[in-house]
A and B are shown apart, each in its own frame.
Chain A
Amino acid sequence: MYRYNQQDQAGVDARVAEFRDQTARYLAGSLSADEFRHLRLRNGLYVQRFAPMLRVSIPYGLLSSKQMRMLAHIARKYDKGYGHFTTRQNIQYNWPKLETVPDILADLATVEMHAIQTSGNCIRNITSDPLAGAARDELVDPRPYCELTRHWATFHPEFNWLPRKFKLAFSATTSDRAATRVHDIGIHIVRNAAGELGYEVYVGGGLGRTPIIGQKIRDFLPEADLLSYCEAILRIYNLLGRRDNIYKARIKILVKEMGLAAFAEQVEAEWQRIKDGPLKLQAGQLEAMKAHFGSFHYDASAAADQSYAQRLERDSAFAAWTKRNLQPHRVDGYHLVFLSLKARGVAPGDVDAAQMDAIADLADRYSFGELRATHNQNLVLADVRQQDLYPLWQELVRLNLATPNIGLLTDVICCPGLDFCSLSNASSIAVAEEIFDRFESLDYQHDIGEIKLNMSGCMNGCGHHSVGHIGVLGVDKKGEEWYQITLGGSSGNDASLGDRTGPSVERAHIADAIQTLVETYLELRLNEDESFLDCYRRVGMPAYKRRLYPEAA
């Protein structure tokens, strides 16, 4: 993975000192609360319902075991012993004390981590495919491109005070696992007809109150022009994005109001002026960055192992786990392993400090000392030999990280909800738990197959409800929790926004409603190969609506 050079380290250390000074000035009363708010947000610090919340950056979700141990240390020393992995591959702590945050940041800096630009109206953490570098279906490893972009975006002096937050995501496969189309800029690394590498660029996607699927602004951008093109987009957005209304300030609204063609024209004009300047990637630059990634020495005899097949035959629980929680690796004899953070009775995405330490040990033992956080709020050990899968699985079972539900109904994406967030209308974690109880039978879940259930506690959409195959959104009705349901959303390459089923459902009936929708699907599907999403797209809303609201029929 990428390691900081002296300049990177100096920049992060200086930022810690700067934030320590800002915090001291705020506490002494010489920095106003409003200005401190802007400054602390740019260091990942929110003030939430009960306590501050600190969001730590995990660039494109990649962590070393050493970093994971530091995250455990922070959970223990400064928080209540756990952390929450987010949909943008970061980790959040829900209980730090404001006064101790500079110390947390100083601790993070010792392992090349920080919370810079994890919130505020600036360029946020760059996200990507959590299987990058190991996936069988990828064109190239997107991480060197992400890291170059991260370098460009971090401390960018011109883009620290944008109209609104700005998120970029990269994908280099035909099965988008990074939700790129719901990002402000989504970048697909592609090859053109001439065999050259470059990018398909999408702009103006986003969730929140006005969810919009990003539109393609460029079919093919040459490989060397990545940063200059992003800079041109950001500059036009910084100058022209709306600042009069926070709900209309994202780039998606600018693109919508100007129209894609007019927006693209301005970007193109600016890009032409800067594309041959200092931002143009030099061949050596990209090669040097690529050398930081994926240089593991894979065991050439891994595929010759016989024990894995025997274990599969003898242990059905192990076999069930391998069926759900593994993905094929580009190297024969290796597998990508998902650690499910969606166990019964655990808030989706939560990991405690003891688990973190244990996961770090497992990464060292079985996966070259690295791990990844996923957009779906799980973790991945990306390079596990097949002969190691059984002992790894046994350890994961003991750690409660082996629920074989990846991609199934209980693998929900969920925001922290009312339990932590001051914006939320819904106890999303409690609802997730109820759904877990309802669909606990794994056989039933396997029968239902691939399905994405995404849940947000409010319109801001942190739980990505708009792109869930089933989306659930908490709404407030005269102080009561109600839930609006959408169907048919997707954040994959075929990205789409879900359609509302109709009137919202009260708290007591939300689990019933989801069960009804699932049962309807099971009745309607052509066969077991037709997924929930495909089936919905084929039959449309009326059939589901009739079942969900029988009284209206």
Chain B
Amino acid sequence: MSLLLDRLGQRIPDLYPEWTEPGTPPPGQPRLLTLERFMEEGAPAAAAVLLPNTANVLSLPASVLACPLLVLDYPAFADGRAYSQARLLSRNGRYSGELRARGGAVVYDQLRMLKICCFTQFLLRADQDDEACSLLLSSTATR
């Protein structure tokens, strides 16, 4: 089970479980949708959006930027595209909700960089040492 941490390294509950089943969940239930599905469903309220790291974050519709949580994806340890996506999203308050990193790069050795690049939530890769990661986040200052 992967652990979700906030910027201070505190464990937090995942309020937006990924909705992968067919059919629509009960209205108003918080869930995580892919960008594609979010658009198909007409930008449902209380949904968070998972962006692929190929998405042009400067051309996202306002409905996406109004989401309470955006999740950026790191498909592999060494694929750093989402760092730039995070920078572009957080710049000048363009997006002010929670920004979560998930995937192969959300590991002890990259947490500091992720935090500096304005992520606010970190879904640790399953094999990580939770305590060490938590401690690292709590002691990392951002500039």
A interface residues, Cβ below 8 angstroms from B: 22, 30-31, 34-35, 38-39, 121, 157-162, 235, 238-239, 243, 273-274
- B43-59 interface with A by 8 A CB criterion: none
Interface contacts (Cβ under 8 Å), in number, total: 47
Of the candidates A34, A39, A159, A161, the one having the most CB atoms from chain B within 10 angstroms of its own CB is A161
| A–B pairs, 28, beta carbons within 8 Å | A22-B109, A30-B129, A31-B109, A35-B107, A38-B77, A39-B109, A121-B78, A157-B112, A157-B117, A158-B80, A158-B83, A158-B117, A159-B80, A159-B83, A160-B80, A161-B78, A161-B79, A161-B105, A162-B80, A235-B84, A235-B88, A238-B80, A238-B81, A238-B84, A239-B81, A239-B84, A239-B85, A273-B91
Cβ contact within 8 Å between A157 and B85? no
- B102-143 interface with A by 8 A CB criterion: 105, 107, 109, 112-113, 116-117, 129
Cβ contact within 8 Å between B77 and A34? yes
The CA-CA distance from A180 to B80 in the complex, in Å, is 26
Known pairs A160-B113, A274-B91; list 16 more (Cβ under 8 Å). Answer: A22-B109, A30-B129, A34-B77, A157-B83, A157-B113, A157-B117, A158-B113, A159-B83, A161-B78, A161-B79, A162-B80, A235-B84, A235-B87, A238-B81, A239-B84, A243-B81
Q: How far is the CB of A490 from chain B (nearest CB, A)?
A: 34
Cβ–Cβ < 8 Å partners of A159 in chain B? 80, 83
Of the candidates B84, B87, B107, the one having the most CB atoms from chain A within 10 angstroms of its own CB is B84
Name the residue on B nearest A239 (C-beta): B84
Of the candidates A22, A31, A157, A243, the one having the most CB atoms from chain B within 10 angstroms of its own CB is A157
Cβ contact within 8 Å between A243 and B79? yes
Cβ contact within 8 Å between B87 and A158? yes
The CA-CA distance from A149 to B105 in the complex, in Å, is 27
Cβ–Cβ < 8 Å partners of A34 in chain B? 77
* 0/1 interface trace, chain B 84-99, chain A, CB 8 Å (1 if under): 1101100100000000
The CA-CA distance from A161 to B83 in the complex, in Å, is 9
Q: How far is the CB of B107 from chain A (nearest CB, A)?
A: 7
Name the residue on B nearest A158 (C-beta): B83
The CA-CA distance from A243 to B78 in the complex, in Å, is 10
The CA-CA distance from A121 to B77 in the complex, in Å, is 12
